[in-house]
Amino acid sequence: MERLQKVIANRGYCSRRKAEEYIKEGKVFVNGNRVSELGLKVDENVEIRIDGKVLEKDEKVYILLNKPRGVVSTVKDEKMRKTVLDLIDTSVRVYPVGRLDYDTTGLLLLTNDGDLTNLLIHPKNRIDKVYVAKIAGILKGEEIRLLKQGVFIDGKKTSSSKVRVKSVDYKNGTSVVEIIIHEGKNHQVKKMFESVGHSVLKLKREKVAFLNLKGLHSGEYRYLNPKEVKKLYAFVKNN
How far does the chain reach from its first CA to its final CA, in angstroms?
28
pLDDT given for residue 197 in this prediction = 97
Q: Which residues are known catalytic residues?
A: 101
- Whether residue 46 contacts residue 7, with contact meaning beta carbons closer than 8 Å, is answered with yes
pLDDT given for residue 59 in this prediction = 81
pLDDT given for residue 13 in this prediction = 82
Q: How far apart are CA 110 and CA 107, in angstroms?
A: 10
Q: How far apart are CA 34 and CA 23, in angstroms?
A: 9
Query: What is the enclosing helix (H) or strand (E) of 115?
Result: helix 114-121
- Whether residue 167 contacts residue 177, with contact meaning beta carbons closer than 8 Å, is answered with no
Comparing CA positions, the residue from 91, 130, 81, 83 lying closest to residue 112 is 91
Q: How far apart are CA 159 and CA 153, in angstroms?
A: 11
Q: How far apart are CA 50 and CA 85, in angstroms?
A: 20
Q: Which domains does the chain have, with CATH numbers?
A: 2-54 (3.10.290.10), 62-123+210-238 (3.30.70.580), 128-208 (3.30.70.1560)
Which class for 35: exposed (0-12), middle (13-18), buried (19 or more C-beta within 10 A)? buried
* Successive 10-residue mean pLDDT values, the chain, 239 residues: 87 84 94 91 89 83 96 88 93 89 96 88 88 97 96 93 97 97 91 97 97 97 95 86
Query: What is the enclosing helix (H) or strand (E) of 41?
Result: strand 41-42
